[in-house]
Amino acid sequence: MFKFLSSMFSNDISIDLGTANTLICMKEKGIVLNEPSVVAVKTENQQKIVVAVGQDAKKMLGKTPKNIETIRPMKDGVIADDKYIIEMLRRFLKKVQGNGFFKSAPRVLISVPSAATPAQRKTIYGAAEKIGASEIFMIDEPMAAAIGAKLPVEESVGSMVVDIGGGTTDIAIISINDMVYSDSINMAGDHFNVAIMDYVKKNHKIAIGEQTAERIKHEIGSAYPMEELKEVEVRGRSIDGIPTSFKLDSNQILEALSEPLRKVVDAVKKALEKCPAEVSADICERGIYLTGGGALLSGIDQLIRKETGLPVVIADDPLTCVALGGCERLKQLVGPKRDLYNQ
C-alpha cells in the first residue's frame, strides 16, 4: 500500500500535523487540505477498523454508539497513536491526489513543536516514512509559522512569533535564519475548550461536549473585554441527566478563559525577558506576530499588547502560516538527498 501511495505523488508537500487540525500544502498548489485531526474507529469481531477521518470523524464526536470511538491521535502537538496517524495521513494524501497519478514519491516536510524530544521527532519521522515519502524534513513550528507570516527570518533583524495551535503554543525569537530563543507550552486552543467545559460544569452544573465548547469559543469567546456583550444559547445535560438549555454571555467566557490565557501571556513575557538586548530593540519596533488558530480568538492581540506594552500583529490567515511556511522552506531544500531528523 505504501509503495502504491509513493507512486501517486510528485509534488513536494508540507504537512502541519496539528493536535486540532492537519493541513497539507503542495508546493505548486498551496493549501490543498485542512481537516480535523480526528479518527473514528469501529470495533468489529474484536478488530478495530478505521471508518472515518477528518471532518467526517469529527462530526461523530460525542455521538457514537458503543462499538465506535473517536480518537485524537495527536496530543499536545506530538503523536499519541502512530497507527492511527499513519492511517489518517494515508487517507488525507489519497484525498488530495484526486484523480491524478504522479510519477514519483514526494519530499515531505513536517512541522514539529520546538520542544519536541528526540523520541517524539523519531516517531513523526517514522510516520512520514510509512506514508511513502522519498525524503523527510522536519522544521520547528514557530520557524515555519514565521516564514509563512512573511517575516524576514534570514535577515539580521529580530522577529518574534507566537504560534497558538490546538495542543501547544510555540514561541520563538528568530534572527539570521535561526531561533535565538524558543519555548513550547501545553496550553492552546484545545485547553481553551476544556476551560469552557469546566466553567459550565462548575457554575451551571451542566455538562457540555467538546464541539459545543468550541462553538461557544468561536461565537462569543474573547481574551479581552468586549464593547458589546454577546450571548449564545447552549444545550447540555444537567446533573440529573436531563437535556437542558441555557444562555452564556461573553463576559462569562472571558472569565472561563482567564487562567489558560494567563499561562500564554506568562510564556510570552518569559521569552521577552530572555531576549538579547539588540534583538529586543527590533521587537519593540516590529512587534509580536501571532499565528495559529488561537490567534483568531477575539481580543487576544489586545490582551498581549496590554500585558507587554508592545505592538501585536495577527498574521494574515494565521491558520495556514505553518503549512505555507513549510512549503516555502521546501523550495530552499535542494541538492543531495538528506533529512533534517539527523541534523
pLDDT tens for the chain, 343 residues: list them: 444 444 344 578 999 999 999 999 998 789 999 999 999 999 888 888 999 999 999 988 877 788 889 999 998 888 888 899 999 999 998 888 764 544 467 889 999 988 888 998 999 899 888 888 888 999 999 999 999 999 999 999 999 999 999 999 999 999 999 999 999 999 999 999 999 999 999 999 999 999 999 999 999 999 999 989 999 999 999 988 899 999 999 999 999 999 999 999 999 999 999 998 889 999 999 999 999 999 999 999 999 999 999 999 999 999 999 999 999 998 887 544 444 443 3
154 DSSP assignment: T
Residue 328: all three cell numbers together: 516555502
Q: Which of 139, 192, 147, 138 is nearest to 165 (CA)?
A: 192
Euclidean distance between CA atoms 308 and 300, whole angstroms: 12
Strands, sheet with 68-71, edge to edge from the N-terminal-most edge strand: 47-53, 39-44, 68-71
Q: What is the pLDDT of residue 144?
A: 96
Coil, strand, or helix at residue 311?
A: coil
d(CA 145, CA 184): 14
DSSP secondary structure, 28-85, as one string: TTEEEEEEES-EEEEEETTEEEEEEETHHHHTTTTT--TTEEEE--EETTEES-HHHH
Q: Which domains does the chain have, with CATH numbers?
A: 38-71 (no CATH), 157-187+260-319 (3.30.420.40), 189-256 (3.90.640.10)
Q: How far apart are CA 65 and CA 140, in angstroms?
A: 39
Interaxial angle between packed helices 250-274 and 210-220, expressed in degrees from 0 to 180 and rounded to the nearest 10 = 80
- The radius of gyration of the chain's CA atoms, rounded to the nearest angstrom, is 21
Among 125, 96, 28, smallest CA distance to 327 is for 28
Q: How far apart are CA 193 and CA 209, in angstroms?
A: 9
pTM listed for this prediction: 0.89
Enter the C-alpha cell of residue 180: 535565538
pLDDT recorded at residue 9? 44
Distance CA 331, CA 272 (A): 31
- DSSP 8-state class, residue 337: -
CA distance 95 to 235: 34
**311, three cell numbers:** 505592538
Cα(151)–Cα(169) distance, integer angstroms: 18
Beta strands in 147-278 (DSSP E): 159-164, 169-175, 178-185, 206-207, 231-238, 243-249
325/318 Cα distance (integer angstroms): 11
Residue 2 is predicted with a pLDDT of 44
